[in-house]
């Protein structure tokens, strides 16, 4: 009995002292793993010195089941700390960032390529239905599940934003707001410009003018990918597509990308301005105008800048 007690004391000392791990390591515990399997996996990774001792300690403490998942173990972690971590279920938080203005096809490519997600994507969400932001997930979460979270986030965002919209907007529904927000998202990368760009489109809609947005044409001619590896041509501008806002008056039949919260907010509360036109300024932003004559001068200046840039090249 004394020998057994002494052996147990030695074993417990080994289990509670700093472990053999010399640097942090990540270990995946698959679902359905038994104690012996987990112990061997931890021993192979250098987290514990003896898999059998780890299994015995887990049975003797019996403070709860060990949970599957991906865990990061710091250097010198003791056996008792290893058990506590595995019982806590505090797995590694992975992240997937969806940038504003990506199309559904681009988001699906990100989800398919995301390391640690499981399963196939079984359905294609509607364009504009996914909210761009950073999503945290755990190893083994399904691809369909994270897409569902993106849809839920967009629905909640619209439920909160739509009642806060400015009065008398020429938008009949949250869906139309998302459609216009997606155009604003693709038109400018400058946060400060979004409410101003939105105001131009709102003003044009109110007057029955065509929106004439290049990104809608790009969406049409790229067949929904939103990527065109060449400048738009004159032929593109007359493309027979309902998404071509140079041909059709009003909004296109749906979004051309997934807009972020800022663009949705800009559309629902646009800047108070009479401006009807804008064109690139050559520095990443845009020059705005109230009259066609002023806009034509701005366009001529932009074309001159483009020509000078080509001559330098």
Domains of the chain: 2-88 (3.30.1490.480), 94-158 (no CATH), 167-312 (no CATH)
Is the separation of the CB atoms in 188 and 199 below 8 Å?
A: no
Residue 12: the pLDDT is: 52
Q: pLDDT tens for residues 228-243?
A: 888 899 999 999 999 9
Q: Above 90 in pLDDT, residue 282? A: no
Among 263, 178, 257, 252, smallest CA distance to 211 is for 252
In angstroms, the CA 186 to CA 127 distance is 14
Residue 296: the pLDDT is: 94
- Place 67 in a pLDDT band, splitting at 50, 70 and 90: very high
Q: pLDDT tens for residues 246-266?
A: 999 999 999 999 999 999 999
Residue 95: how many CB atoms within 10 A of its CB?
Answer: 9
Measured CA angle at 97 (ends 96, 99), to 5 deg: 150
Question: Burial level of 208, CB count in 10 A (0-12/13-18/19+)?
Answer: exposed
- Provide CB contacts within 8 A for 220, sequence distance 6+: 239, 241, 243, 244
Give the E-state strand segments of the chain in sequence order.
Answer: 25-29, 69-73, 94-97, 134-137, 277-280, 286-289
Selected residue with higher pLDDT from 109 and 305 = 109
Q: Above 80 in pLDDT, residue 167? A: yes
Among 101, 312, 307, smallest CA distance to 190 is for 101
Q: Can you tell me the mean pLDDT for 62-76?
A: 91
Q: Percent of the chain having pLDDT more than 90?
A: 83
Is the separation of the CB atoms in 289 and 275 below 8 Å?
A: yes
DSSP string, 152-207: HHHHHHHHHHGGGPPTT-S--SHHHHHHHHHHHHHH---GGGHHHHHHHHHHHHHT
Q: pLDDT tens for residues 4-35?
A: 334 344 445 456 789 899 999 999 999 899 99
Q: Can you tell me the mean pLDDT for 101-111?
A: 97
- Provide CB contacts within 8 A for 16, sequence distance 6+: 78, 79, 80
Angle between helices 174-187 and 261-268 (to 10 degrees): 110
Which range is least confidently modeled, 8-22, 34-48, 199-213?
8-22
Which range is least confidently modeled, 31-35, 125-129, 288-292, 303-307?
303-307
Q: Can you tell me the mean pLDDT for 89-117?
A: 96
Quote helix, strand, coil % in the chain, to nearest 5: 45, 10, 45
- Provide CB contacts within 8 A for 172, sequence distance 6+: none
Residue 310: the pLDDT is: 76
Residue 125: the pLDDT is: 97
Q: Above 70 in pLDDT, residue 313? A: no
Residue 3: the pLDDT is: 35
Residue 4: the pLDDT is: 37
């Amino acid at each position: 009995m004394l020998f057994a007690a002494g052996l147990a004391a030695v074993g417990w000392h080994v289990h509670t002292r700093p472990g053999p791990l010399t640097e942090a390591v990540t270990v995946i515990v698959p679902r359905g793993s038994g104690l012996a399997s987990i112990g061997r996996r931890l021993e192979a990774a250098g987290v514990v010195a003896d898999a059998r001792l780890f299994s015995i300690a887990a049975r003797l403490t019996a403070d709860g089941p060990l949970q599957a998942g991906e865990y990061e173990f710091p250097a010198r972690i003791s056996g008792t700390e290893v058990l506590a971590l595995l019982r806590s279920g505090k797995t590694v938080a992975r992240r997937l960032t969806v940038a504003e203005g990506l199309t559904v096809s681009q988001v699906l490519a990100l989800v398919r390529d995301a390391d640690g997600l499981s399963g196939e994507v079984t359905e294609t969400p509607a364009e504009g239905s996914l909210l761009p932001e950073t999503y945290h997930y755990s190893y083994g979460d399904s691809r369909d599940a994270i897409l569902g979270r993106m849809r839920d986030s967009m629905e909640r965002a619209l439920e909160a934003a739509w009642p806060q919209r400015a009065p008398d907007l020429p938008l009949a529904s949250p869906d139309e707001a998302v459609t216009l927000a997606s155009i604003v998202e693709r038109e400018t990368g400058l946060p400060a410009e979004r409410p101003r760009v939105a105001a131009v489109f709102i003003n044009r809609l109110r007057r029955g003018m065509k929106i004439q947005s290049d990104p809608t044409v790009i969406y049409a001619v790229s067949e929904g990918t939103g990527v065109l590896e060449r400048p738009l041509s004159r032929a593109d501008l007359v493309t027979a597509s309902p998404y071509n806002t140079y041909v059709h008056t009003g909004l296109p039949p749906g979004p051309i990308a997934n807009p972020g919260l800022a663009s949705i907010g800009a559309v629902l509360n646009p800047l108070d301005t009479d401006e009807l036109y804008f064109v690139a300024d050559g520095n990443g932003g845009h020059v705005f105008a109230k009259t066609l004559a002023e806009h034509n001068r701005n366009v001529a200046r932009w074309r001159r800048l483009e020509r000078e840039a080509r001559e330098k090249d």
